[in-house]
Amino acid sequence: MDIILFKAAIILSFVLFFIPKQFQYYFGLLLHLIIIAISSIWAVKSLFIISGKLTIAFLPFLGNILNLEIDQLSAFFILIVNFTSLTGIIYAKGYLQPYFNKKSKIELAFHFFNFLWLHISMLLVVMFRDALAFLIIWEIMSLSSFFLVIFESEKKETIRIGINYLIQMHIGVVFLMLAFIWAYTQTASEFSFDGLSVYFASHNPFLLFLLFFIGFGIKAGFIPFHSWLPHAHPASPSHVSGVMSGVMIKMGIYGILRVLTYINHDLFDIGLFILIISLASGLIGVSLAIVQHDVKKLLAYHSIENIGIIGIGIGLGVIGISENIPVLAVLGFGGGILHILNHSLFKSLLFYTAGSVYKQTHTRNIEQLGGLIKKMPKTALFFLLGALAISGLPPFNGFISEFMIYSGMFKSLQEANLFTDIILLFSFSGLAIIGGLAIFCFTKVFSIVFLGTARSDKVEHATEVDAAMILPDFLIGFMIVLIGFVPVIFMQPLSAIVSVFTGDTIAIQQIIPTLNNISLSSGIFIILIGVIWLLRAWQQKQQSIKQNTTWGCAYTGANPALHQYTATSYADNFVQISKQIVNVKKDFENFEETDIFPKEREFETHSSDIFEDNLIIRPVDKILIFLKKIAVFQTGKIQHYLLYALLFIAVISILTYLNWI
């Protein structure tokens, strides 16, 4: 019965185009809820009841090709996808309100249709094992997300970003196809994930894993395969950005984890490779985030940073298995997998709150904001919660997953050899630097966007968003606090997921007393804060309080915004020590000594991604130059085109005669 309802919801998605405009959202929401309920039941059954693989025949007449197979790893991703998609569709109601008059019935239906199919395709990605079915649904996921990215298709820049995204997704699919075909032709086994075990059992796994890593790494946003991500997220509606960053890029992580389940030997090189790429992603991602002025682009680079943190945990876990260090394997995988959940929460929360700011101010430029905590207090509070969580600060969820990774490194030092200890030392240092820079970045963002005074008239008419856009923030905020304060309740299901890779999960059980102490300390800390707040409130009631403008040192002629830190000035010291990475350029006409009365000047800074510049933009520019040069052959004269054909035939004939082809 459940599979029939699941398939019925999929079929009914096409009815969206025939639903009246005012009911499209509610019909789409209903289909989302049906899919969430059914797939979540499957996931819970696999994760908690049977503690193993659940197989469901999707289209029985096609045999086993389209069977849905749900193990603990799939169940984990199903639950994350469902929760984030639910918050996304709830948030969409308020965010899309201004577009209901701008967009036609078909355009809105197409948007809700693609949002629904993004949800469906992500679920099927983690349930299909057959390679052909997997690649088809992977392509559907890319296409549906592409149409969501170009929602504001009237903007030429949005179309350009969407095409860039789609091209890179197809490059990723090519690598995945090559990997599956290579494994199949070498073993003549199943054309599926399960067939990989035959290849890995008799071949060195690194080269095939590298193909898979590139294909999945493009979707995940690892450096240097990330260049689509900082453009696609800002161009998308915020509910789409939240889902894409929260869970869609995790499909790349899922693919990497799924492939790792089939590799049982020669793991050290693979683990070290993942670790190095992940450290680079974390460090470069957070560095580029610091210098951004577009708040959504800044959050996009933080997605790259957090993908790096997840990869650090996975890489350490793989090294732990290779070096037979169970505590490193268990806590590395445990911390990395828990961070997948944690990142889906605080990153979607940050994108939703950033979207609320954009909806009310019509700008994403940090330099044009300020003082919003007075006008949007709930949004400011939830943004602060997400900022604290993503920075890995206690007592919130980001701290728990990073603490597990740190614990795995510390507890492994005595069991590891010298070379592994050096790797652990560099990993510890890299993760600590990433965390410190994240705090620096979000201190800048929160203080400039929400504190101080307005830097432009964009803020003047801002008000708090409606309940539909606040409700998802409450749901996510509750989960962030729950994981941070009571992490122990998540350890049992986490152990079941980690056991897919390590078998033994004793290290997670051993860390529970420490987590209990952390929870107790967090509770005491919050109680103390509450007591201090109550005492202050009582003391303030006894005083006569007056409010006035801030004293301007007897000079009130200037705009108060000019006396505040800007995003540029806040990050200037960091820019000076990281020029080679952040590549910040300043546009400013310097003052000359002869300028007694200098004219008005403008100061602008902009950064570019060195990987995008060198790996994409420059090669593409050279190709375009080459194409322009050979365009001289397009004369428009039929005799010339006939001559080209004759020359081609002559060349082929000569090469054939010489047995070169």
Report the Cα 320 to chain-centroid distance in Å. Answer: 26
DSSP-derived letter for residue 608 is -
In one letter, which amino acid is 12?
L
127 in Cβ contact with 141 (< 8 Å): no
Taking 70 as the pLDDT cut, the residues of the chain under it are 61, 63, 548-562, 661
- Predicted pLDDT at 549: 66
DSSP states of 117-184: HHHHHHHHHTT--BHHHHHHHHHHHHHHHHHHHTTTTTSHHHHHHHHHHHHHHHHHHHHHHHHHHHHH
| pTM summary value | 0.91
- Predicted pLDDT at 454: 83
- Predicted pLDDT at 583: 78
- Predicted pLDDT at 101: 83
Say how far apart CA 493 and CA 44 lie, in whole Å.
10
Number of H helices, E strands in the chain: 27, 4
Say how far apart CA 219 and CA 222 lie, in whole Å.
8
Mark 286-322 as b/e (b = at least 16 C-beta within 10 Å). bbbbbbbbbbbbbbbbbbbbbbbbbbbbbbbbbbbbb
418 in Cβ contact with 344 (< 8 Å): no
DSSP-derived letter for residue 456 is S
463 in Cβ contact with 360 (< 8 Å): yes
- Predicted pLDDT at 377: 92
Say how far apart CA 101 and CA 518 lie, in whole Å.
50
- Predicted pLDDT at 280: 94
- Predicted pLDDT at 553: 64
